[in-house]
C-alpha cells in the first residue's frame, strides 16, 4: 500500500468500518478534506523517499516522532492521548520504511 493509500484508509476508514459506524458529519468531512490537503501540500511521500539525504539530527527526530506514534496503550496510560491502533500501525510501517532506506 502506498503512503497516500494508507493515509486515505486512516482518514476515511475501510468499508467494514463505515458500515458499522455512523457516517461522518459535514464538519468531520470538511476536517478530513483539510487534512488530506495538508498531507498533499507537505509532500510527505517525497520526504520519506529522500530520508537518506537528511542530516543525522533531522533523521533522529523523524525516527523519534515515528516511534512516539507507534506507542501502544500501555505506554499511553495516564496521559490524555487516546490509543489508535490504525495510526500506530501506520507509524510503524513508516518507521520500517525509513529504517530500511537508511541502513
Q: Do residues 35 and 49 both lie within one domain? A: no
Burial class (CB in 10 A: 0-12, 13-18, 19+), 90: buried
Q: Do residues 48 and 93 both lie within one domain? A: yes
Q: Do residues 51 and 91 both lie within one domain? A: yes
Q: List Cα–Cα distances, 49 to 13, 52, 94, in angstroms.
A: 25, 8, 10
pTM: 0.60
Q: Do residues 77 and 102 both lie within one domain? A: yes
How far apart, in whole angstroms, are the C-alpha atoms of residue 59 and residue 95?
11
Q: Domains in the chain: how many in total? A: 2
Whose grid coordinates read 496510560? 77
Q: Do residues 35 and 71 both lie within one domain? A: no
pLDDT in tens, 32-87: 899 889 888 988 888 888 999 999 999 999 999 999 888 876 665 666 666 678 88
Domain that holds residue 16: 1-42
Q: Do residues 78 and 94 both lie within one domain? A: yes
pLDDT range class, residue 13, cuts 50, 70, 90: low
Amino acid at each position: 500500500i502506498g503512503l497516500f493509500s494508507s493515509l486515505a484508509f486512516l482518514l476515511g476508514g475501510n468499508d467494514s468500518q463505515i458500515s458499522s459506524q455512523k457516517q461522518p458529519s459535514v464538519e468531520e468531512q470538511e476536517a478530513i478534506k483539510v487534512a488530506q490537503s495538508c498531507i498533499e501540500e507537505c509532500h510527505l511521500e517525497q520526504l520519506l523517499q529522500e530520508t537518506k539525504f537528511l542530516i543525522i539530527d533531522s533523521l533522529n527526530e523523524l525516527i523519534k516522532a515515528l516511534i512516539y506514534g507507534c506507542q501502544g496503550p500501555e505506554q499511553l496510560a495516564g496521559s490524555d492521548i487516546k490509543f489508535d491502533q490504525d495510526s500506530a500501525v501506520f507509524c510503524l510501517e513508516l518507521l520500517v520504511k525509513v529504517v530500511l532506506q537508511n541502513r
